[in-house]
Amino acid sequence: MDPALHAEKPSSHILLVGPRGSGKTTIGHSLARVRDLPFYDTDRMVEEVIREPIASFWAREGEGSFRTLESLVLQKLFGMKSGVVSTGGGIVLSSANRELISRMGCVLYLSVSVEVLESRLSHWGNSRPRLNPQLQLSEEIRLTLRDRDPFYREIADYIVETGGLSVSQVVVQISRLLGEDFLTRAGGV
């Protein structure tokens, strides 16, 4: 964690970062529900702009065009009502995005093992673009994590291990990290 990035946080979003398949969207929905906050998903917001699935846009326009739109969506979120934000797995590749995410609120890195990610992603089929389709899925995941894990850790206020836990268990863990016990406030998760 870079202390300079965490010195002052004018916004109060809860931002979930981590690799695809780590549970950012599913956990984000549940966390937003128990906190009674809006839920934002940067991938869905990009799809609203391009009016097609990311996989189709990515195949036609390439990763660079996608990353540009992703950065614009993130900038738009900075000024929106505080909520829970699920980010795309590669959003951290841009240093400008990392800086902005760090300023937007509390950043939680949802960490998970290569084995768990492979199990989850193998069930998704072609709904998400492969970053390196000529590699075996496990090798692609391992290389992607090797490259991105330092960026996730750089901006994370907390690292939450999600492998082997239910969505409810992760939400409770996050709630405790944030200093609120939702079990009593929300009557359970």
The CA distance from 40 to 35, in Å, is 14
Residues 74 and 102: beta-carbon distance below 8 Å: no
Q: Is the pLDDT of residue 103 over 90?
A: yes
Q: Which ranges of 79-181 does DSSP label H, i.e. alpha helix?
A: 95-104, 114-122, 137-155, 167-177
The number of residues in the chain equals 189
Q: What is the predicted pLDDT for the residue at 166?
A: 93
Q: Which residues contact 61 (CB under 8 A, 6 or more apart)?
A: none
**Average pLDDT value for residue range 67-71:** 94
Looking at residue 66, its pLDDT comes to 92
pLDDT value at 184 more than 50: no
List the 13-17 sheet strands across, edge first. Answer: 39-41, 84-86, 13-17, 105-111, 158-161
How is the chain split into domains, by residue range? 3-172
Mean residue pLDDT of the chain comes to: 84
Residue 138 confidence (pLDDT): 82
Q: Report whether pLDDT(147) > 60.
A: yes
Q: Where are the beta strands (DSSP E) in the chain?
A: 13-17, 39-41, 84-86, 105-111, 158-161
* Mean pLDDT calculated for residue range 34-59: 92
Q: What average pLDDT does range 78-87 have in this prediction?
A: 92
pLDDT band at 129 (very low <50, low <70, confident <90, very high): low
Mean pLDDT of 38-53: 94
Q: What is the mean pLDDT of residues 102-127?
A: 81
Q: Are 156 and 17 in contact (CB under 8 A)?
A: yes
**Confidence band of 128 (pLDDT split at 50, 70, 90):** low
Task: Report the b/e string of 121-140 with b at 16+ CB within 10 A.
Answer: beeeeeebbebeeeeebeeb
Could you tell me the two tokens for 138? 């496990």
* pLDDT of res. 125: 57
Assign domain 3-172 to a CATH class. Answer: alpha beta
Residue 149 backbone phi and psi in degrees, to 5: -50, -45
pLDDT of residue 19: 93
Structure-block tokens of residue 55: 């996989």
Mean pLDDT for 41-65 is 91
